Amino acid sequence: MKLPQEFLNKMKNLLGEEEYENFLESYSSARYYGLRVNTLKTGTKEFLDISPFDLQPVPWTRDGFYYPEGESPGRHPYYHAGLYYIQEPSAMLPGEVLGAKPGENVLDICAAPGGKTVQIAAGMKGKGLLVSNDINSDRVKALVKNIELCGVRNAIVTNESPEKLSRNFNGFFDRILVDAPCSGEGMFRKDEDAARSWENFKCERCSSMQQEILSYVDKMLKPGGILVYSTCTFAPEEDEKMIASFINQNGHYNIAKIPRIAGIDRGRPEWADGNIGLEGTVRLWPHKLKGEGHFVAMLYKEGTEGCQAVDKYSQMQWAEGIPPQYKEVFNRFVGDNLNTEIKGYLYIKGNNLYCLPVEMPDLNGLKVAKFGWYLGEFNNGRFEPSHSLITSLDKNDIKRTVDFNSGSREVLAYLKGETLIIEGEKGYTGICVDGYTLGWAKQTGDMLKNLYPKGWRKMS
């Protein structure tokens, strides 16, 4: 592949002759492909027992695996059931390092298309509040889809600048992930377009954005909180120098040491005026491990405030002011169609019903793309369930289900949006693949009306 000469000259100067040759040789090697099991939907062992792919573990994350080149996991019905997220192996490290836990308030500030958000959500297990943000409105659409596909219940999706977020969330978050917009040098082997567009996204432009993001992130992180900063670039200006500058400007942070395993390398303090603490940061190099280029730093903010979020609503709790008829309609739907209760704080936006495990935070003045777990819509005295409702439920939570084998003609027909000629009891029916929910259909007697979202349907 053709790499920018200015980039090559810079890397040769940074790495020295011998390491530079090893680095350059990696671009002639095959790239690595990965997926991460979505433990909100299935256990890692359970998935390995049914996996149609030859999987080998990614050593720096608990639920990540390599799959062979030539496989197409994005076309398999298990993908449409949200059992895994396709993700570059090195990109799995920042979410693992963040270590989000149930009950916390967590921010993923540059979240689209959602791989790290889904990984964070898996660690939170539906408890606490996850705010997933991206400033790009087009990319937010993919973020919302991936959150819904993977059955995330506790996420709010915003489409805002860090400055505006900081006005509403001052000192609010226990953990923040900044997977910063960057010059993308670490992705050149994976994406040749990144190499071609490098001239337009060189580190000088990106570093100013990174500085701005970090300045507002500091305002939003609680004392005692954890900040993880990552990029997919090799540029010291966006990596070690960025962290050194941030700590110099905000003296109340300490760098935590990230374990170096399976070829993960140390940060390079010599590239940032010899700041010794930067040895705790890590670099993932394509010539040293099975993955692309990444930089990750983990910082502790001084203080002891810690996590204060709790799983407050272990039962159903309606927000104040909701008309009784809405409650009656929804409760009737639950009684007629589900074997489980909907637990959490329920509130309405327009005619849409949402649920969160905590009360809604202050979102005034913010652009919000998703207000939590979207349950469905009230329409002419009826409740129409959403796709995100069923993707967050287990098969046993639904009264009427039809379960297809992953290799069956019927499951492919369903994913294409076709009507299925199957008899059954009238009403909403959960369509499943090998025991995992795919979406809704409506039984009308001798056929199932397909309710799989039109924008999600397979074309082939």
Residues taking part in catalysis = 232
Q: What is the CA radius of gyration of the chain?
A: 23
What is the amino acid identity at position 108?
A: D
Residue with tokens 């140390």: 266
Q: How far lies 206's CA from each of 53, 79, 176, 283, in Å? A: 38, 33, 20, 19
> SS3 of 33, please?
strand
Which 8-state DSSP code applies to residue 125? Answer: T
C-alpha span between 379 and 330 (Å, rounded): 11
What is the amino acid identity at position 41?
A: K
C-alpha span between 58 and 67 (Å, rounded): 10
Mutual angle of helices 115-124 and 137-149, in 10-degree steps = 40
The secondary structure element, H or E, covering residue 132 is strand 129-133
CB atoms inside a 10 Å sphere around CB 442: 14
What is the amino acid identity at position 414?
A: Y
C-alpha span between 158 and 161 (Å, rounded): 9
Quick check: 187 and 201 in contact, CB under 8 A? no
CA dihedral of residues 208, 210, 216, 218 (deg, nearest 10):
-130
Closest by Cα among 386, 180, 384 to 372: 386
Residue 393 tokens read as 């439920």
Quick check: 352 and 377 in contact, CB under 8 A? yes
Q: How far lies 394's CA from each of 5, 82, 340, 411, in Å? A: 53, 12, 10, 18
C-alpha span between 14 and 203 (Å, rounded): 15
Residue 66 has phi, psi (to 5 degrees) of -80, 145
Q: How far lies 239's CA from each of 1, 206, 220, in Å? A: 25, 11, 21
